[in-house]
Amino acid sequence: MITPEQANKLAEYDSVVSVFESKISKLHTTHSWDFLRLNPVYDENHVALDFTSNVIVGVIDSGVWPESESFNDYGLGPVPEKFKGECVTGDNFTLANCNKKIIGARFYPKGFEAEFGPLEDFNKIFFRSARDNDGHGTHIASTIAGRSVANVSLFGMAKGIARGGAPSARLAIYKTCWFGFCSDADILSAVDDAIHDGVDILSLSLGTEPPQPIYFEDAISVGAFHAFQNGILVSASAGNSVLPRTACNVAPWILTVAASTVDREFSSNIHLGNSKILKGYSLNPIKMEHFHGLIYGSAAAASGVPATNASFCKNNTLDPTLINGKIVICTIESFSDNRREKAITVRQGGGVGMILIDHNAKEIGFQFVIPSTLIGQDSVEKLQAYIKADRNPIAKIYPTTTVVGTKPAPEAAAFSSMGPNVVTPDIIKARPGVNILAAWSPVATEATVEHRSVDYNIISGTSMSCPHISAVAAIIKSYHPTWTPAAIMSAIMTTAIVLDNTNHLIGRDPNGTQTTPFDYGSGHVNPLASLNPGLVYDFSSQDVLDFLCSNGASPSQLKNITGELTQCQKTPTPSYNFNYPSIGVSNLNGSLSIYRTVTFYGQEPAVYVASVENPFGVNVTVTPVALKFWKTGEKLTFRVDFNPFVNSNGNFVFGALTWKNGKQRVRSPIGVNVVSL
């Protein structure tokens, strides 16, 4: 803990690598693997994943609940010899809590306590150890590498087999987050240890509040670069900030993950007094036995409270005498509203149920303390018409039913942060994360119905998307142990799909509104295809430094990233020629040629032919139009020429380049901002 003046003085010493402020990051709060076509039992449409894996995934989060059946080590071989980590003991966490599944566990409270004071001062349940009191870290770890556990559900919802994407992978746990907050100092310490310990993949479902800091002063970007240098892929969530230009963890050496839906809904419908059924959504296991009167929150304002304020159903805004025994209809003030607290307010006033008008988040499964459900525009209009026509409107809220096979899916999640990349806009980033059932900490009761202890829970967020991608990366690493982080990243990105299960372009939840790569990145992950992508776009640490130099990085800034004094070349490679699996030009001034190099991975010679989707107002040509490869590991370079004929007026326009060989499709999104012709 030092002053800014002391920090500046300290930075002048040659022996000091870098000095930047430690900020606070936040956590980005089953059937999904079936939807992604990953199944532990092989059939003609699924890939077998029951092989033994020595891939080690490091999870930087809120810890783990090691007793969960998802972390049993039945049938796993010995701990890989390459692992140099430790099982650090602490509160309610002994050496026996590690096994052949959880092979390492560490915890980091120092940065958090320096910022906020002792953990004991919070008057909340916590463990000064790697044990998870939050539930988030347990959920993430089991989504990545949980073993198959039969007959799992949340109060009967989403019942089935819970499993991780890479059930044979090993887990190393790094607890840096306390009560939902994570100190940069602790995160960087954990990354340092994970590199030393020998993990293969690092998964971070956390990040800063927007806007994204510059890479040289961002702990996750700095730590991830060192991991990248050591052959470790870092997968990190993009955030849940809804709006354009809010994506975080966007450094090109990080695989950034946004959120999308799967083909499953949790319906909690409303039975009106006129016998009509309205579509509603929530995680509601509570059965409402009888019909109850309906009342708008705005019509039940407490004394002195404006009707508009009461409509949001926040604390101390409702009159208990008016809502007692009734179902209260509430509205959303902003996307960040605490929806659970609205139901608590209704219950405190004697209300027996809540209907929440929430057009944007209606398909996100929230849990409430009383029967409650979220409705969108179609149901709102029918509800309003009924209340207007009936002098004594009544309704009943049904418990949740699980519906599988819904269409369209996937969709970009309404809450998911969006591009463009505000730090280096030439980089277009790489998504399921809505209503995911996975293991939970039984002491983390705040997020569950009536604060009941559960062993498995359903939550949503880019936090939930990130472990899906981390698991896919672990599977690829198992199949291709010598591949670099960039090659694995390329395989995931270039094989992603951009069409939903109705064969239309992926839309944005909740209404299927039009999307661009700033919503869905490279697309929705296709794990099976990513195991055999055909071509990969590889890049090295030096390529990253050249990219940073082309964006104006100074030697001192590069030192913050690398740890040593680094000079840029006199003529750095233009950032648009960085060998990334997407193609972005943030300022296209007239015609431009860019270059990419692909590496071939195949069993026999192959020819790939280029197919281009032109961005509006831009002609794109590829030279050569065909690439012929003779042996695996062969590299070929091609040129992409952009010839704009319409100014895009400060907006990006999008297209794609796809290499095809009759079996495989290697797709790169294209985004250009035409500033002059």
User: Long-range contacts of range 445-448, CB-CB < 8 Å, 24 or more positions apart?
Assistant: 447/135, 447/367, 448/367
**Residue carrying structure tokens 């326009």:** 653
- Please tell me which residue in 32, 62, 70, 136 is annotated as part of the active site: 136
Instruction: In whole angstroms, give the CA distance from residue 52 to residue 205.
Output: 26
- Please tell me which residue in 25, 53, 61, 142 is annotated as part of the active site: 61
**Structure tokens, 509:** 């939840």
Beta strands in 524-664 (DSSP E): 535-536, 583-589, 592-600, 606-613, 618-623, 626-629, 635-644, 652-660
User: Long-range contacts of range 567-574, CB-CB < 8 Å, 24 or more positions apart?
Assistant: 572/546, 573/543, 573/546, 573/547, 573/549, 574/550
- Please tell me which residue in 463, 530, 550, 582 is annotated as part of the active site: 463
Instruction: Tell me the Cα Rg of the chain.
Output: 26
Q: Are 220 and 237 in contact (CB under 8 A)?
A: no
Active site residue 136: yes
**C-alpha distance from residue 65 to each of 8, 293, 446 (Å):** 42, 43, 16
Beta strands in 143-186 (DSSP E): 149-154, 157-162, 170-175, 177-178, 181-183
Instruction: In whole angstroms, give the CA distance from residue 546 to residue 248.
Output: 22
What DSSP string runs through 559-575? HHHHSS-----SSPPPG
Using a 10 angstrom Cβ sphere, with 0-12 exposed, 13-18 middle and 19 or more buried, the burial of residue 202 is buried
Active site residue 334: no
Q: Are 138 and 61 in contact (CB under 8 A)?
A: no
Active site residue 490: no
Cβ neighbors of 431 (< 8 A, separation 6 or more) are: 257, 258, 259, 260, 410, 412, 413, 416, 465, 520, 521, 523, 524, 525
Q: What angle do CA 8, 13, 14 make, to 5 degrees?
A: 135
Residues serving a catalytic function are 61, 136, 463
